[in-house]
Amino acid sequence: MLKDFILPDIGEGIVECELVEWLIKEGDLIEEDQPVADVMTDKALVQIPAPHGGRVTRLYYQQGESAKVHEPLFEIELNGSEAADSAAANDTAAATTTTETSATEAKVTAAPESATSRVSEDFILPDIGEGIVECEVVEWLISEGDHIEEDQPVVDVMTDKALVQIPAHTAGVVNKLYYPQGDIAKVHQPLYAVIPDQQTSGAVDSDAVVAAVKRSSVSSESSSSSPVAQSSHKAEGHEPAGSEAAPILKAKALASPAVRRLCREYELDILTVPGSGKDGRVLKEDVLSFQQQQKQQQHIPAQDLVESIATRPASPSAGSEIRIEPIRGIKAAMARQMTISASTIPHFTFGDEVDVSGLLELRKQLKPKAEKLGVRLTLMPFIMKALAMAVQQHPILNSRVNADCTEIHYLPDCNIGMAVDSKIGLLVPNIKNVDKLSILQIAAEVQRLVEAARDGRVAQQDLQGGTISISNIGALGGTYTVPVVNAPEVAIVALGKIQQLPRFDAQGQLEARSIMNISWSGDHRVIDGGTIARFSGLWQSYLEDPATMLLDLS
């Protein structure tokens, strides 16, 4: 049976996409959910999975061409066995209503007319951010057959903005996980199935469900000839005689961000790690196993090592291959945002230095009081408060322009963003209404957002609505930089590291002072050099003499 695969909606307002790369070719046998193509929209690179198993008979587009949404992408000849099995499963599910075992099996195979509708409940992936229609399944925190509690974390998913943890909506026994790790899950589609506790105590026994799930899993693995089954067979130690144990260098590795991070922590080249997942995808267990093998090899006696090297056939150098890694998630969002900023905003930079000796002394006095309240007091809350106060006298710094730059929109609230170097990439969460918060309240918000950003778990509302930004490059040891304005904002300041430098006092005496360099970047369409110099001068005066802030506090 021939069937066209219709390219589905892949993003709000997207009507076409560029076909970047076919991952299959005509004549190939493919499995359900196997990645078949990488396509590029004007927002992201998206990987399209196969809806059915079968043989590819026709590709309707060449690489580099534009494919239309809701139009055929490729043609597939469905597996006869797959169609027959599906029909048989539906017939069996409709006829089986007499025994508890039959109901359980029908639930496991997810037949629509079976007892599934009575005992199994799908968890639908909810909206996890404005404009987000899909996400990558980074790591399942549960497995099929597990009993879970309400609000228990079940899965980590990666959007193009943050790492999000999805909690369980109800307590019960996990029946089915609809996506393997590394696959793309769709918003408003089933993520996993669960048998709620209030139903497991009735006609269907929890142990029977768990056993049925395991039997179904074993049966599907033994009858499948897919790469997943073959990889699992090898992972269990059933290697054919004479197989090579040495790692094989691949041109491209499939792995989730969490697995790639684990490889970096162990200083492993992910291309050399054998993958046991679907299509050779590298899983966490593969990395841990490979790392253990590397440790054991390091303890081989010297004579054995020499003999092993002498008898091993020559392999290509690792440097002869170019490692290719798709730009996804936070990195893809940063790439888009910086491209927009650099291409649409004419930047100019203004630099100066600030003597923060008095501010450091004030912080030293207030720090113990803040610690008693459980708040870590740094210089950032003072810097933000001074910035918000200076904005009140120079509101052009807290504005944005419309698309064709014919209007300036002055914003009522000062929401200051701070760039954070998180483990998943650059994040810029912002603190809302800094102009209305106390120093202690700002410090508590800074502490909360920094901890959340470094874990990659910043809430969407904390990433939206910023009006002006701060980049603390000095925390990493930098002195000067030229920051890029975070569109649609019109200004950003970078803070350099604080240095002890010689300076002359009012009497002409040389003394050591704590000096911090600052670098402003502004949108030259609406801000000129004189404006930012006057604004920065007022802000610097608050930082150099913090007592003067009391006069302007409202």
pLDDT of residue 250: 57
Higher pLDDT among residues 318 and 73, named by residue:
73
Assigned token pair, 70: 């809701």
* Window from 151-160, 211-220, 487-496, 540-549 with minimum mean pLDDT: 211-220
Whether 161 maps to a domain, the answer reads yes
Mean pLDDT value of segment 198-203: 48
- Residues 380, 355, single domain; the answer is yes
Q: What is the structure's pLDDT at 332?
A: 82
The residue with tokens 């307002």 is: 13
DSSP-based three-state secondary structure for 180: coil
Phi-psi region of 455 (alpha: psi -120 to 50; beta: other; left: phi over 0): alpha
- Count of CA atoms in the C-beta half-sphere (13 A) of 442: 24
Both 74 and 92 in one domain: the answer is no
Summarised one tens digit per residue, pLDDT across range 227-263 is: 333 433 333 444 443 344 444 555 566 766 667 778 8
Rounded Cα distance between 24 and 36, Å, is 6
Residues 6+ apart with CB under 8 A from 28: 55, 56
Reported as a single tens digit per residue, the pLDDT across 267-299 is: 888 888 888 876 777 888 888 888 888 877 765
Query: The domain that contains 60 carries what CATH number?
Result: 2.40.50.100
Q: 153 and 211: one domain?
A: yes
The answer to whether residue 264 sits within a structural domain is no
At residue 264, the pLDDT reads 78
342-393: pLDDT as tens digits: 999 999 999 999 999 999 999 999 999 999 999 999 999 999 999 999 999 9
Categorize the per-residue pLDDT at 314 as very low, low, confident or very high, splitting at 50, 70 and 90: low
Q: Do 102 and 21 share a structural domain?
A: no
We report the CATH number of the domain holding residue 543 as 3.30.559.10
Asked if residue 22 belongs to a domain, the reply is yes
Tokens matching residue 259 = 């697995």
pLDDT bucket at 304, cuts 50 / 70 / 90? low
Look at residue 243 and give its three-state secondary structure: coil
CA distances from 45 to 63, 65, 135, 271, 456 (A): 14, 15, 12, 21, 21
> Stretch 158-176: mean pLDDT, rounded?
84
What digits encode the pLDDT tens for the residues 75-98? 998 876 555 554 444 454 444 333
Instruction: Calculate mean pLDDT across residues 157-182.
Output: 85
In-domain check, residue 315: no
Range of the domain at 125: 81-228
Is 98 found in the same domain as 73?
no
If asked whether residues 343 and 369 sit together in one domain, one would say yes
Task: Tell me how far apart the alpha carbons of residues 86 and 117 are, in angstroms, rounded to a whole number.
Answer: 18
Same-domain pairing of 31 and 172:
no
Asked if the model's pLDDT at residue 454 lies above 50, the reply is yes
Q: Domain for residue 141, yes or no? A: yes
**Across all residues in the chain, what is the average pLDDT?**
79
254 in a domain, yes or no?
no
Task: Please list, in sequence order, all residues whose beta carbon lies within 8 angstroms of the beta carbon of residue 162, skipping any fewer than 6 positions away.
Answer: 129, 330, 424, 427, 456, 457, 458, 459, 460, 463
Domain boundary residue, one of 59, 78, 97: 78
Catalytically active residues are: 524, 528
Tell whether 402 and 535 lie within a shared domain.
Answer: yes
Beta strands in 7-132 (DSSP E): 16-22, 29-30, 35-40, 45-49, 54-59, 66-68, 72-78, 121-124
Cα separation, 5 vs 17, whole angstroms: 15
Kindly state whether residues 474 and 372 are assigned to the same domain.
yes
Give residue 141's pLDDT band: very low, low, confident or very high (50, 70, 90). very high
In this prediction, residue 43 carries a pLDDT of: 57
Q: Are 543 and 417 in the same domain? A: yes
Let me know if residue 293 belongs to a domain. Answer: no
Domain boundary among 174, 205, 228: 228
Query: For residue 116, what pLDDT band results from cuts at 50, 70 and 90?
Result: very low
What pLDDT was estimated at residue 222?
39
Percent over 90 (pLDDT), the chain: 37
- At residue 445, φ and ψ (nearest 5 deg) are -70, -40
Q: What is the mean pLDDT of residues 305-334?
A: 67
How many independent structural domains does the chain possess?
A: 3
Residue 495's pLDDT band (cuts 50, 70, 90): very high
> 540 and 456, same structural domain?
yes
The reported pLDDT for the residue numbered 492 is 96
Mean pLDDT value of segment 32-53? 80
pLDDT at residue number 396: 96
From 78, 101, 129, the end of a domain falls on 78
Residue 324 domain flag: no
Q: Do 53 and 85 lie in a common domain? A: no
pLDDT over 80 (residue 508) = yes
> Residue 206's pLDDT is what?
39
Cα separation, 396 vs 126, in Å, equals 38
pLDDT: is 150 or 110 the higher one?
150
Distance of CA 297 to the CA centre of its chain: 34
